Amino acid sequence: MSTVIRRTAPTIVVAGAVMLMATGCLAGENAASTSESTGEWSTDTLSIDFATYNPLSLVVKDQGLIEKALGDDVDVEWTQSAGSNKANELLRAGSLDVGSTAGSAALLARANGSPIKVIDVYSQPEWSAIVVGPDSDITSVADLKGKKVAATSGTDPYFFLLQALETAGLGVSDVEVQNLQHADGRSALDGGSVDAWAGLDPIMAAAEVESGDKLIYRNVDFNSYGFLNATEEFLTDHADVAQVVVNAYEEAREWALANPDETAALLAEVAGIDPAVATTVISERSNLDVSAIPGDAQLAVLEKIAPVLVDSDAVTGGQDAVDTALDTIIEPTFAEKAAG
């Protein structure tokens, strides 16, 4: 097994928070202030996701933090996302106002024309690795050449796989990628229909314990941050409610950091996994103790992933589309206000 590479999340210092990015942001903060003081909101519905790969979403939902802040005037509609690709599909279709993805998946969606922006950073996880079965003779990335590998296209595990292959001088054409949703990828591995799987926690952690599956390649630097994204239309028209969502996430973060055992128990319940597995995910692989404000640290990771996106032909507009997405994907003002 390769050495696990770890890093410490840098503290993001945002200078001049009052110098907001655009007039629309100023209008958004004014709208938030007005609605909070009058008790009237700009919408009567909010569509938002929760996901087992986003522990803070579970806390926000379980404790009813958004509902408490909005009161009876806004109907909060919760949808579970099975993966970043599914959250992106719902955001693009307008079925979600706010959805949680990996940073790489958000960049891919934005580069392909989905009008989303990241408004909060919920984690800096090590949630992906290359996984093989307990009796596999595959011990390194190089051994994957010519093998069948399950991965969910458009998600962090897929881009983790591409980056991992590159370390061994391989490309995606050197393996046979089976595009399966995360849980189906584990099933395919355990059933023997694929040789390896680009896994995602907490499913991956459960596979280690329940099936004896092995992580043959880990690298935290190949995992992007956890992004909370919102559609541009929602941010423009309902900035007051968007601010409530980000505020709730920061309340949930404080609670989760102070109550890791309870957070793990909640994850175990929602994901249907053993509490010990959930504890491993929360204590060792989630890293919720990061700045919520999206900025340079996240862009630095995305800039490393960008060439992988371009080379994989996943972006219709190529390099120009990715560059434009990098320039426009961040919207830090909501997290700045929540932190302030």
Structure tokens at 15: 């200078």
Give the span between the Cα atoms of 162 and 166, in whole angstroms. Answer: 6
Which token pair is 265?
Answer: 């128990």
What confidence score (pLDDT) does residue 173 get? 93
Rounded distance between C-alpha atoms, residue 74 and residue 84, angstroms = 26
What is the pTM for the complete model shown?
Answer: 0.81
| Residue 106 main-chain phi, psi, to 5 deg | -65, -45
The pLDDT > 70 percentage for the chain reads 89
The arrangement of strands across the sheet holding 226-231 comes to 75-80, 45-50, 98-102, 226-231, 116-123
Specify the pLDDT at position 39: 59
Task: Give the C-alpha separation, 168 to 166, whole Å.
Answer: 5
pLDDT in the model for residue 78:
98
Residue 53 CA to residue 64 CA, distance in Å, equals: 19
Nearest alpha-carbon partner for 152 in 86, 224, 218: 86
Query: How confident is the prediction for the chain on average, in pLDDT?
Result: 89
pLDDT at 8: 35
Return the minimum-mean-pLDDT range out of 4-8, 34-38, 115-119, 256-260: 4-8
Residues 6+ apart with CB under 8 A from 10: 297
- In angstroms, the CA 8 to CA 21 distance is 28
Residue 333's nearest CA partner among 32, 5, 127, 8 is 32
81 Cβ neighbours under 8 A, 6+ residues apart: 49, 50, 51, 87, 90, 99, 100, 101
Those residues with Cβ within 8 angstroms of residue 316's Cβ, 6 or more apart along the chain or in another chain:
112, 113
Q: Residue 194: count other Cβ atoms within 10 Å of its Cβ.
A: 23
- The predicted structure's pLDDT at residue 313: 82
- The distance in angstroms from the start CA to the end CA of the chain is 43
Q: Flag whether pLDDT at 13 surpasses 90.
A: no
pLDDT tens, 203-251? 999 999 999 999 999 998 899 999 999 999 999 999 999 999 999 999 9
19-57 pLDDT, tens digit each: 333 334 433 444 444 444 345 899 999 999 999 999 999
